[in-house]
Amino acid sequence: MLLNSAEAQSTGRSAVAIDKDVVAALDERILGPEHKSLPPTAWGRTVREFLDSAPALADLETPILTIDRTAMESNLAVMADWAAAAGVRLAPHGKTTMAPQLWARQLETGSWAITLATIWQVQVARSFGVGRVVLANTLVDPVGLRWLAGELAKDPDFEFLSWVDGVATVREMERHLAAAPAGVRVPVIVELGGPHGRTGARGLAAALEVAEAVHHSPRLILAGVGGYEGALAHDRSPEGLAAVRDYLEEVARLHRELAAAGRYADRDGSPAVVTAGGSAYPDLVVEHLAGLADEEGAQGVPTAVVLRSGAYLIHDDGFYSGISPLADGHTDRPLRSAMHGWARTVSRPEPELALLDAGKRDLPFDEGLPVPQRIAGPAAAELNSAATVSALNDQHTFLRLPGGAEAEVPVGSVVRLGLSHPCTAFDKWRLIPVIDSADAESPRVVDLVHTFF
C-alpha cells in the first residue's frame, strides 16, 4: 500500500484521522474485467494477490493511465515543505483524485484536512474515516443536510466546514436543519466571489450581509472566509495576476472586518479559517493571505490560512506545468508530472499519421491534448519534438509525425503520453496502476489505486 506511517511520524507533523484499516481493506477487493486494462490473468485475484505476482507495466493491456510513485512522493514532500515554510496549512482538494489511498498519504504527510466539492464526496470521505473535511461548495440539498446533521451529532470529533455566499443560502440551510438534533450547528465560510467568476458573494458589502445572517443564525456558525481565485484568471499575464491579487486583497479585507466586528466569537478558540485554491497561484495566496495568521490573529482572532491545492500531488505536463510557480524552471525543487498515458500504435494509414488506441474515454483533453514523449519498452527512444497529437476520438489518438516516422513509431509500438489536468484524468479510471518510475526501461507495477467517482 501507499501508506507509510513511519515516514509520516518522522516528519513530526500531525495529521487528522483516516481509518487505515478501511483503506488497507481495498487490497482485498477482487479484480475483474470491469477494471480497465488489467490482464485477464488478474481476474478473480485480490489486489494483493495480483501485486504479489510482481507485474510489470508491459503485462497490462493498452490504453492505460499510470501514476509514477517516485514523482508523486517527491510532489508530496515538495508541497508539504513549501506550505510549512510559508506558514499555511494544506487541505488538498480530494475531488482531483477521489482516491482515499492518496488522501491518506496527503494526511500522513501533514495535510490539515481534505477538501471536497459535493456532499456525496464528503460521504465517501467519511466512509473512510476522514476526520476533517472542507466542503468547498454551498450545501442546500435537504437529504445531504439531514445526513450531515446526524453525522455531526453522532461524532463530536468530526470537523466540517461548508460555504455560503448569499442570505438565501443561509435561510435554506436553516430550513433544512430545523429538525437537526439539539446543539448541532454547521460551521460555514463566507465565500467571496469576483466579477465573471463562479459562485461567491459579489463584493464586500454583499459578503458582510451574508456574514451578518450567519451571525444571527441558530443553526450556523461563522468559521471564516474564502473563495477560489483560479476562476478569475487562466494564465500569468499581467492582467491575470492583477485580477488574482485584487481578489485576494478583498478576501483579506473581509476577514479583517469580520474579526474587528467580533463575528468569530462562536468559534470557542478554534482558529478562523481563511482559505483559497492554490493550485495555479499558491505564491499569490501566500503573498496576500499568509500574513493574516501573524497579525496577532487578526484583531485578536486566531487565524489559519488554508490552501486547497488539488493538482500538486499529480501535477501534469500541460496546464499546471505552464502556470504553477512550483513547476520545473521556476524553483530548485519543482513539482513533477506523476501521470502518464500509454497507448499502442494500431494503424499507420498515412506516412505522417499514427493512430493510437487511447481516446477521450481514457485520457484528459479539456485543458490541452496529450503530448507524445517517447516510445516505451526495450527500444525506448524520445520522439521527435515535431510529433504532436492533433485530436482525440472516443477511442483513438491522432499522432502527427511530420516527415514520416514509420520506423520510429511502428504498428504495435507503445507511446508514452504526457497529460494535462489530473482532475479529468482520474475520473476515467476506477483502478489506476502505480508504477515505480515512468522513466524506467521496464516499469514495475507497485500498487493499484482505487477511485470513487
| pLDDT at 5 (0 to 100) | 36
| pLDDT at 265 (0 to 100) | 83
| pLDDT at 100 (0 to 100) | 98
pTM of the model: 0.92
Give the SS3 label for residue 187. strand
| pLDDT at 279 (0 to 100) | 87
| pLDDT at 445 (0 to 100) | 98
Q: Are the beta carbons of 56 and 48 closer than 8 angstroms?
A: no
| pLDDT at 447 (0 to 100) | 98
Q: Are the beta carbons of 342 and 357 closer than 8 angstroms?
A: no
Regions in the chain scoring below 50 on pLDDT: 1-14
Q: Are the beta carbons of 374 and 383 closer than 8 angstroms?
A: yes
The string over 403-412, giving b where at least 16 C-beta atoms fall within 10 Å of a residue's C-beta and e elsewhere, is: eebeebbeee
| pLDDT at 295 (0 to 100) | 64
Q: Is the peptide bond prior to 63 cis by the omega test (within 30 degrees of 0)?
A: yes
| pLDDT at 406 (0 to 100) | 64
